[in-house]
């Protein structure tokens, strides 16, 4: 389907019409370019459960398999396309993530679909498929924005459960400039391992804020996990119920 190169946001209704038209063309005989089998298998598994079908889980799957993908995100009435390139640590989009802001719009982001990438990263042999260089940006900026301000406020599935978390030695680098209490938590996690329940009790944190921080650190490669460390603990009674507050 059209990769929405235009910097003018498409309305979701127009996106759905274009998607339906593309499906009609495929039914007429065109063959789609498929996502890699391993990534596609993970995506299908995520899609079966509404609680895991979100942008962070999909980005995590792309990073895990080192495979690019085009993600169509719904932001209020408009569609925002992004293409993630895990190997190059880049993302591509006609608009910078900062245009979404950090308010209610970002918190309402929805995942409309996932497709094979329509563009290639800078330096690719298929130079005709490489977009304007200004539309490629560090993927870390995208991850921090989505983890801190997006709709997900629970830890990612693959890092949940009985786990002790610790920040790797270089985990303090390339942090967003306005982390507040989260920055001191990163420094503390460099010095000691802790469970999610314990981190949530640190000054200035809560269970959702701690979860968002751990997701960001994990997706940017700054987090170590241990399921055998003494600090790893099971969720305290009623832990899940606390996610309804302090998002």
**Last residue of some domain: 149, 177, 196?**
149
Q: What is the pLDDT of residues 92-106, one digit of tens each?
A: 988 777 766 666 678
What's the pLDDT band for 13 if we cut at 50, 70, 90?
low
Q: Measured between alpha carbons, how far is 63 from 142 in angstroms, rounded to an integer?
A: 13
Q: Measured between alpha carbons, how far is 100 from 51 in angstroms, rounded to an integer?
A: 23
Q: Are 114 and 35 in contact (CB under 8 A)?
A: yes
pLDDT of residue 18: 61
Q: Please identify which residue in the block is written with the tokens 């997006």.
A: 150
Question: Into how many domains does the chain fold?
Answer: 2
Would residue 232 count as lying in a domain? Answer: yes
pLDDT of residue 17: 59
Q: Are 82 and 59 in contact (CB under 8 A)?
A: no
Residues 21 and 139 in one domain: yes
Residues 139 and 81 in one domain: yes
Q: What range does the domain containing 31 cover?
A: 10-149
Would residue 2 count as lying in a domain? Answer: no
Residues 129 and 196 in one domain: no
pTM here is 0.82
Residues 163 and 60 in one domain: no
Residues 41 and 136 in one domain: yes
What's the pLDDT band for 24 if we cut at 50, 70, 90?
very low
**Last residue of some domain: 94, 128, 149?**
149
Which helix (H) or strand (E) segment holds residue 79: the answer is strand 78-85
**Percent of the chain with pLDDT strictly greater than 90:** 46
Beta strand pairing call for 78-85 and 10-11: antiparallel
With vertex at residue 241, the alpha carbon angle to CA 236 and CA 247, rounded to the nearest 5 degrees, is 110
Residues 143 and 171 in one domain: no
**Last residue of some domain: 93, 125, 149?**
149
Residues 16 and 138 in one domain: yes
């Amino acid at each position: 389907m059209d990769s929405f190169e235009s910097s003018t946001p498409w309305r979701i209704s127009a996106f759905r019409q274009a998607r339906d038209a593309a499906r009609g063309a495929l039914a007429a005989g065109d063959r789609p370019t498929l996502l890699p089998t391993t990534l596609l298998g993970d995506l299908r598994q995520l899609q079966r459960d509404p609680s895991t079908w979100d942008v962070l889980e999909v980005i995590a799957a792309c990073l895990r398999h080192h495979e690019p993908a085009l993600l169509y995100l719904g932001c209020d009435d408009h569609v925002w396309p992004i293409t993630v390139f895990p190997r190059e640590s880049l993302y591509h989009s006609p608009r910078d993530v900062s245009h979404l802001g950090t308010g209610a719009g970002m918190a309402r982001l929805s995942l409309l679909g996932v497709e094979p990438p329509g563009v290639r990263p800078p330096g690719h042999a298929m130079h005709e498929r490489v977009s304007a260089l200004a539309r490629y940006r560090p993927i870390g900026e995208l991850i921090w924005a989505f983890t801190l301000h997006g709709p997900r406020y629970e830890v990612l599935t693959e890092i949940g459960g009985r786990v002790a978390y610790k920040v790797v030695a270089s985990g303090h680098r390339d942090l967003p400039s306005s982390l507040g209490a989260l920055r001191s938590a990163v420094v503390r996690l460099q010095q000691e391992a802790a469970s999610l329940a314990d981190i949530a009790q640190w000054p200035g944190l809560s269970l959702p804020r701690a979860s968002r921080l751990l997701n960001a650190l994990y997706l940017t490669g700054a987090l170590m996990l241990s399921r055998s460390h003494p600090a790893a603990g099971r969720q305290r009674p009623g832990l899940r119920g606390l996610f309804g507050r302090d998002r």
